[in-house]
């Protein structure tokens, strides 16, 4: 596998031109992003850490994998030392609140840092990501006693954390879970049950692991309304350390397609009969509300995994296409040439590049909006940006994870037969990212959420507000005065019209025939993603054109941005019409066939 190099010039361009950087820089405690030199220094240091520490361990993790024994789970060689360096450098707590000892960096700066680390070593990054998610959940729902006892340990990197939702019979249907939490006289609960697919459920990176576990108390209502959240430590925090081992153990780890360096555990609570000691987090029977603080953060991060793995795959494919000499140009002489000169290889590379750039730009736009939604002094701006975030999270998660599967698969195609050879490492980005469209809510769940909660519930108000921004970009393209803008404007307008027509149809038909509408919901989500990407690529073209007109910046880079935007407009945006047709008219066909006829 080729070495990873963070695309810093591209990252800086997106931050400065497409992501509301100036507005975020005006927020309280945004010094790291308000000072350009400081921001650049942080980006440079993160890129160096990703390149020098994390990336060299990526294939090691894939090849060696995590190992299970009765004594516990061990991570691949080098992971322990890298984790210590990660914590010592402070990368583990960049997004954690300053009031608990974290750095509290804006989401807009955390997004590129997390992207770089994930590109370098996705399996490694799960552990620190889960620590950050847990701090958010505990800060939102835990008692002051639990906060003071556990959050500082998570922020310092001394302890890690997990999310425990899934059970053998309760995957996407969390309300079907059976894990029991029995109240005790001392105010604790004893937990009994089994959880599966628990990322980093056991490992050797930290001295303790905090499990956030969904379970049912006696007499709890059926379904999701009867689910509570509990904090269950691997070791109990008693006087002296280490404390007594709790009755929670890893019974085994999964043998997965990818992410081999990340242990995916089966966790047994109360297997010794005494029950795992746990503390209630938040109100009884309200556990999903607190847990979804973690889940919503995770969905954005999973979308970013799509960007990160696509970038890694593009870099691999580009390097190979430049060095692999094979075949002669059509009607172009007798000498063999590097395959990057062949038309279809160029098409594949530009498809990978343009879609990766589109995903990155959408991600950073969401990240900036998250900062404004949580910290802007004007409540109306907070409300408006939060509505944008709520709309975009399921779109971004679903579209980016699905697009990344296409992009990473294309990398294998560029490599030809060598891409199919496991030892080449070319398949790893695809194998690692394939799960991203499954966990933290499958693409169909994201699409259902988009149609039901984000579109139908407000009558399409948030969608219309977003599309008004896209129409502003269309007007700017018309006024831009550059020939390159014509095809971008034309195809983006057609795509927006297709999206608006599909949205109108969804709103009109959802109450009357929800099953048919939902059968077309994934194409509708992908339509939204394609348009969102086209919108950001159009904005990138406008920014690049302005800088070229002013003779600012790196002219070669800016011309590449214009070409990438044109490619997206001519090769990707035309997909909108087909997706809209399926979203509007494909559902009836999908629902007609009786079950027995399949």
| Catalytic residue set | 440
The C-alpha atoms of residue 291 and residue 183 are separated, in whole angstroms, by 20
The C-alpha atoms of residue 426 and residue 411 are separated, in whole angstroms, by 7
| In contact, 505 and 519? CB cutoff 8 Å | no
The C-alpha atoms of residue 219 and residue 253 are separated, in whole angstroms, by 33
Residue 363: count other Cβ atoms within 10 Å of its Cβ. 27
Helix ranges restricted to H, 142-178: 144-156
| In contact, 90 and 160? CB cutoff 8 Å | no
Helix (H), strand (E) at residue 69:
strand 67-69
Residue 90: count other Cβ atoms within 10 Å of its Cβ. 12
Joined tokens for residue 447: 């699409």
Count Cα neighbours of 573 within 13 Å in the Cβ-side half-sphere. Answer: 28
The C-alpha atoms of residue 493 and residue 14 are separated, in whole angstroms, by 22
DSSP-derived 3-state class of residue 244: coil
CA distances from 256 to 125, 286, 440, 505 (A): 17, 33, 17, 40
The C-alpha atoms of residue 102 and residue 111 are separated, in whole angstroms, by 16
Gap between the terminal Cα atoms of the chain = 42
CA nearest 582: which of 534, 532, 522, 531?
Answer: 522
Sequence length of the chain is 598
CA distances from 476 to 201, 479, 480, 487 (A): 50, 5, 6, 14
| In contact, 477 and 490? CB cutoff 8 Å | no
């Amino acid at each position: 596998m080729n070495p990873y190099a963070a695309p810093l010039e591209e990252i800086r361009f997106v931050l400065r031109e497409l992501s509301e950087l100036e507005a975020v820089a005006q927020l309280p405690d945004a010094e790291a992003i308000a000072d350009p030199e400081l921001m650049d220094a942080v980006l440079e240091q993160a890129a160096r850490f990703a390149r020098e520490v994390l990336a060299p361990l990526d294939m090691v993790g894939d090849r060696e994998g995590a190992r299970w024994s009765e004594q516990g789970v061990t991570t691949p060689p080098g992971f322990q030392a890298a984790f210590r360096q990660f914590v010592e450098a402070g990368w583990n707590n960049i997004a954690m609140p300053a009031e608990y000892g974290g750095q509290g960096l804006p989401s807009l700066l955390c997004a590129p840092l997390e992207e770089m680390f994930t590109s370098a070593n996705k399996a490694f990054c799960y552990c620190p990501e889960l620590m950050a998610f847990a701090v958010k959940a505990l800060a939102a729902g835990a008692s002051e006693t639990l906060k003071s006892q556990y959050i500082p340990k998570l922020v310092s990197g001394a302890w890690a954390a997990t999310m425990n939702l899934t059970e053998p019979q309760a995957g996407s249907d969390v309300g079907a879970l059976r894990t029991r939490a029995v109240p005790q006289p001392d105010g604790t609960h004893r937990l009994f049950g089994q959880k599966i697919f628990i990322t980093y459920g056991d490992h050797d990176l930290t001295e303790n692991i905090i499990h956030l576990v969904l379970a049912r108390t006696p007499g709890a209502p059926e379904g999701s309304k009867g689910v509570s959240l509990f904090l269950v430590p691997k070791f109990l925090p008693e006087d002296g350390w280490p404390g007594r081992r709790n009755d929670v153990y890893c019974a085994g780890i999964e043998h997965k397609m990818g992410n081999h360096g990340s242990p995916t555990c089966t966790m047994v609570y109360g297997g010794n009969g005494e029950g795992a000691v746990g503390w209630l987090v938040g109100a009884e029977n309200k556990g999903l509300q607190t847990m979804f603080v973690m889940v919503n953060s995770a969905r954005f991060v999973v979308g970013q995994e799509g960007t990160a793995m696509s970038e890694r795959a593009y870099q691999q494919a580009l390097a190979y296409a430049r060095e692999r000499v094979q075949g002669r140009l059509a009607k172009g002489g007798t000498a063999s040439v590097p395959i990057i000169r062949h038309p279809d290889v160029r098409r594949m590379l530009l498809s990978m590049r343009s879609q990766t750039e589109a995903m990155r730009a959408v991600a950073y736009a969401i990240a900036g909006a998250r900062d404004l939604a949580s910290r802007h002094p004007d409540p109306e701006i907070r409300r408006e940006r939060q509505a944008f975030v709520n709309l975009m999270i399921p779109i971004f998660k679903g579209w980016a994870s699905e697009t990344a599967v296409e992009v990473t698969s294309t990398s294998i195609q560029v490599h030809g037969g060598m891409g199919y050879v496991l030892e080449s490492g070319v398949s790893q980005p695809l194998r690692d990212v394939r799960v991203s469209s499954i966990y933290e809510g499958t693409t169909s769940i994201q699409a259902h959420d988009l149609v039901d909660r984000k579109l139908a519930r407000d009558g399409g108000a948030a969608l219309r507000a977003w599309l008004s921004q896209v129409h502003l970009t269309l007007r700017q393209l018309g006024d831009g005065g550059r020939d390159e803008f014509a095809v971008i404007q034309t195809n983006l307008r057609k795509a927006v019209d297709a999206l608006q027509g599909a949205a109108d149809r969804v709103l009109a038909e959802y109450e009357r025939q929800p099953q048919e509408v939902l059968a077309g919901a994934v194409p509708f989500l992908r339509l939204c993603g394609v348009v969102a990407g086209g919108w950001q690529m159009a904005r990138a073209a406008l920014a690049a054109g302005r800088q070229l007109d002013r003779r600012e910046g790196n002219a070669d880079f800016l011309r590449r941005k214009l070409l990438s935007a044109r490619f997206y407009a001519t090769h990707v945006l035309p997909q909108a019409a087909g997706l809209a047709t399926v979203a509007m008219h494909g559902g009836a066909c999908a629902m007609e066939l009786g079950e027995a006829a399949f």
